[in-house]
Amino acid sequence: MVLGISEDFTSNVVFDAQLKDIPTSGLYINSGVHPSITTENLMDFLPKIDLSFQEWDETKDYNSFMTSRNRVDIVTKNSNIYQSIKSSNLNQDPETETDFWLLTNIESLRLKIFLEKVKDKVYSDLSLTKRLVNNQYIYDNGEKHLTTLENNYAAWVIEPKGSDYVSIRINEISIEKDGTTPVNVYVINQDRLLETITVSPDNGRLNFVDTDIVFNGKGTFKLAIDSTDMYVGNATVDPLMFDGFVAYTANGTGDAPETADYTYNTFGNGIGINVTAYLDATNYIEENLSELGNYVRATFEYMVFQLFLHNSNNRSNRSQRLQMDDQLLMGELKNTKLDTVVSRYHKELKRAKTAMSKTFDTQLNDHDGIQVKIGSV
């Protein structure tokens, strides 16, 4: 969610391009809010912190600051401050590689930190923070026999189910194979190899190894290995039995795991997985910001007034700047019967929740439930 700031000519502060650019949503966070919310007042009341950053290091791999919120992803070079705007940002010169770095300043960073808190409240109010749907161990728990897997590759196939905003995380993988020689596990999405990891078997025993594989795109995902001798039982899996995802097995024939021709089935293959499905609505507000924009703006207005009331940075000259004493500020934040900041906030929150109830997560009916299952096939 990119929130833009409209110029109101009350301050000489110059924000960076990310804040000044016309947002794709058309939403200027400070447009149409209470007249006391000016750029000058906002910057005066935001915490005045002395920020220092490390010099850019060409050997370091930087992440996007807006994702990591870690100050190590902000650097300096030749007395200028640069914000990393992409992950896997390695050996990209901040002064020339504008696709990876944004020239910024302390004032812009102070405001962005506050806007991130606004976004956090929006996600929290609308219950759009990451929410567990299901956790499931899937493995063969019957009598097992050493079996040569068919064709060139064996795989688990995973698909999100019930919502376009379900993400899948593979927490653990078990490879029931003789020996301890590491086995390549190919992570595939729509005929594209995303990464290859290695998992060490434990002499044919069921032993889960920690992984951190996240599926949050479209289409089907596969976890494939080269066909080999594995300990396999006679159990089958119902692909549709899991909340939040579909899971079934497959065998593939071809020169590469990502382009192989797969045949799908429901019997085990010696690969065990621990799967978590969770709702991740990161893109939902982005895609519907025009409908939810008034609520986002009302949340910003409400949090700014909380800042005006409780922040001690400028308590001595607050009444002069805002033409408000504590009683008037408390009225804006507590009185829900008049057209106040808090009444607008609650009105827009109600509208946003009504709109969401018709569009978001309509297939996962248990909005408040959490299912944690440990089972076997």
DSSP string, 163-228: -TTEEEEEEEEEE--SS---EEEEEEETTEEEEEEEE--BTTB---EEEEEEE-SSS-EEEEEE--
Q: What pLDDT is stored for residue 367 in this prediction?
A: 45
User: Of 254, 279, 304, which residue sits at a domain end?
Assistant: 279
Mean pLDDT of the chain: 87
Asked if 107 and 138 sit in the same domain, the reply is: no
Which sign does the torsion angle of CA 172, 178, 180, 181 carry? negative
Asked if 211 and 321 sit in the same domain, the reply is: no
Asked if 200 and 271 sit in the same domain, the reply is: yes
User: Of 279, 295, 311, which residue sits at a domain end?
Assistant: 279
Q: What pLDDT is stored for residue 372 in this prediction?
A: 39
How many domains would you assign to the chain? 2
In a domain, 377, yes or no: no
Backbone angles phi and psi of 323, in degrees to 5: 55, 35
In a domain, 10, yes or no: no
State how far the Cα of 282 lies from the Cα of 65, in Å rounded to an integer: 16
State how far the Cα of 251 lies from the Cα of 303, in Å rounded to an integer: 54
Asked if 62 and 181 sit in the same domain, the reply is: no
CATH number at residue 137: 2.60.120
Residue whose tokens read 């018709």? 358
Q: What pLDDT is stored for residue 3 in this prediction?
A: 73
Q: What pLDDT is stored for residue 299 in this prediction?
A: 95
Asked if 175 and 214 sit in the same domain, the reply is: yes
Asked if 78 and 206 sit in the same domain, the reply is: no
Asked if 61 and 151 sit in the same domain, the reply is: no
Regions of the chain short of the pLDDT cut 50? 315-316, 365-377
Judge if pTM exceeds 0.75. no
DSSP tag of 71: G
Q: What pLDDT is stored for residue 376 in this prediction?
A: 44
- The percent of residues above 70 in pLDDT, for the chain, comes to 88
Q: What pLDDT is stored for residue 302 in this prediction?
A: 96
Asked if 168 and 156 sit in the same domain, the reply is: yes
In a domain, 159, yes or no: yes
Q: What pLDDT is stored for residue 375 in this prediction?
A: 43
Asked if 184 and 112 sit in the same domain, the reply is: no
Asked if 355 and 215 sit in the same domain, the reply is: no
Asked if 101 and 163 sit in the same domain, the reply is: no
In a domain, 343, yes or no: yes
H/E stretch holding 82 reads: strand 80-84
- 212: containing domain: 131-279
Asked if 187 and 210 sit in the same domain, the reply is: yes
